[in-house]
Amino acid sequence: MTAALHVPEGGASSEDELTRLARDVLPGGVLGKFRFAVEDGFIPASAEGAYMTSIAGDRYLDMSCGGGTLVLGHRHPAQMAAVDAQLLKGHHYFSVVTEQAIRLAAMIRNVIPCAELVRFAATGSEATYYALRLARAHTGRDKVLKFEGAYHGNHDIGVISLSPTSDAPFPTPQPNSAGIPRELIDSTLIAPFNDLTQAQEIIERERDGIAAVILEPLQRYIPPVPGFLEGLRETTERHGICLVFDELVTGFRLALGGAQDYYGVVPDLACVGKALGGGFPIAAVTGGREIMALCDPKEGGSSHYVYQSGTLNAQALIAASAISVIETLTTPGAFEHLHALGNRMREGLDEICRRLGIRAKAYGVGPTWFLAFTDHPIVDHRSSRAADAKKLKAFHHQLLKRGVFVIPGNKAYLSLAHSLADIDRALEDAEVALTQMDG
């Protein structure tokens, strides 16, 4: 039966009505695990720059930025002009290589150090999935080593040891979803992030079976310790193992060339997305010609051919948006501004917590921030569990009450549309929120 939705006079449904309908037609009333719950009482109506307005007419400073996709902010003029122009020409030609896709691939190759060839996908989950398939085909091995607490998408390996609550001995995998085949669980190895010694020990022991080591160079909000990425690069290279950087978060955010550019460590394969599309669904696998050529359809039918395809991959409208994103990010001072915003926010939060005597520290790199309610250093997933998750959500809910939009419990993002004045305003709200989050 179709759910009835009453539309009040004026053409807009109320938040209460939409919330009731959401609970009726969506599992849990939400769009996914890491999505804003309808119970939080916010349904967006419009957005511009660094701000969003709800159906109820409330205005919010957006520090979610589309889950990190809106690195330019909402409705950036250059991006909107590119999208509008492409809509007038046509927006999808199914599997036909367009000028926009070709130009975009060339731009990606020009800025990402590891990129000799580019293959597009529609989502980050697809990109990491295909990268691991390429690694297996290239090496002739099956096992994958990932780091505890890392998220590599919705596919099976992506949610193995994503958020384990028990301290199983490494490299024991712990699935965080039902429905994952036992064989795949057993072929996944787990190591602690930032522990090079333990990761190297696992690699040395399992080297003949490991196809890939995949990691987020900035895992969630935790930066790599000096020498960690370099050590993984040396060890994987020595044993013929593909090093895969999941740069869905760091790509086009820490630097134009992503984390590999920012940290100076070049992987065999890298996956980018999120910021690349500027809010439109696109991702890409990039890497050396020898590996990437395995998905050339001219190799179809051969034993080493890697199947990869997608109906909406780099369709013209999305590619036009992505081109405008990269062009805007090449503007002089763009990344300096993004890093200045993040530094100001993190340093401001640390100063407020010191002044108020609150045991918390701000983490993140570039235009990202996360406030961990603990004074114990966080270097990996297990040390992150020392942080008080309830206090974090209480803090975020207080920010929401004051018109600062964050996803409770999650990392926050900033964009080119934010100003230092926006950061100062958010810090003022954060100080009030920290004093009232228990009240």
Same domain, 53 and 119: no
The 10s digit of each residue's pLDDT in 357-409 is 999 999 999 999 999 999 999 999 999 999 999 999 999 999 999 999 999 99
Same domain for 188 and 101, yes or no, is: yes
pLDDT one-digit tens code per residue, 288-343:
999 999 999 887 778 889 989 888 888 999 999 999 999 999 999 999 999 999 99
Cα–Cα distance for residue pair 231/108, rounded to 1 Å: 26
Query: How much is the CA Rg of the chain, to the nearest whole Å?
Result: 22
Asked if residue 10 is part of any domain, the answer here is no
For the question of residue 413 being annotated catalytic, the response is no
pLDDT, position 11: 47
274 an active-site residue?
yes
DSSP 8-state assignment for residue 342: H
Distances from the Cα of 206 to the Cαs of 232, 235, 382, in angstroms? Answer: 14, 12, 23
Tell whether the model's pLDDT for residue 127 goes beyond 80. Answer: yes
CA geometry: angle 175, 39, 400, nearest 5 deg: 100
178 & 123 share domain: yes
Q: Are residues 175 and 279 in the same domain?
A: yes
pLDDT band at 13 (very low <50, low <70, confident <90, very high): low
State how far the Cα of 269 lies from the Cα of 290, in Å rounded to an integer: 11
Percent of the chain's residues with pLDDT above 70:
94
Q: What is the pLDDT, as a whole number, of residue 1?
A: 41
Q: Which of 62, 262, 268, 274 is catalytic?
A: 274
Q: The CATH number of the domain where 131 resides is what?
A: 3.40.640.10
Of 283, 301, 329, the residue that ends a domain is 329
395 contacts: CB under 8 Å, gap ≥ 6? 371, 373, 430, 433, 434, 437
The enclosing domain of 379 has a CATH number of 3.90.1150.10
Residue 86 and residue 136 share a domain? yes
Helices (H), 330-419: 334-356, 381-384, 389-401
In a domain, 103, yes or no: yes
pLDDT at 312: 82
pLDDT in the model for residue 303 = 85
What number of residues does the chain have? 439
- Kindly state whether residues 27 and 105 are assigned to the same domain: no
pLDDT at residue 9, rounded to an integer: 46
Residues 91 and 43 in one domain: no
Domain count, the chain: 2
Which of 306, 329, 352 is the last residue before a domain boundary? 329
What is the pLDDT at residue 108? 98
Same domain, 338 and 425: yes
Q: Is residue 3 part of a domain?
A: no
Q: Which of 297, 329, 361 corresponds to the end of one domain?
A: 329
Domain that holds residue 112: 77-329
50-54, 97-101, 162-166: the lowest-pLDDT one: 162-166
Looking at 51, 151, 263, 413, which residue is catalytic? 151
Whose structure tokens read 């989502």? 123
Per-residue pLDDT band for 165 (boundaries 50, 70, 90) equals confident
Same domain (yes/no): 100, 137: yes
The pLDDT of residue 12 is above 80: no
Q: Is 341 helix (H, G, I), strand (E, B) or coil?
A: helix
DSSP string, 118-151: EEEESSHHHHHHHHHHHHHHHHT--EEEEETT--
Q: Please check whether residues 235 and 189 belong to one and the same domain.
A: yes
- Cis bond before residue 171 (omega within 30° of 0): yes
Q: Which of 51, 130, 195, 246 is catalytic?
A: 246
What spatial distance separates the first Cα and last Cα of the chain, rounded to whole Å? 43
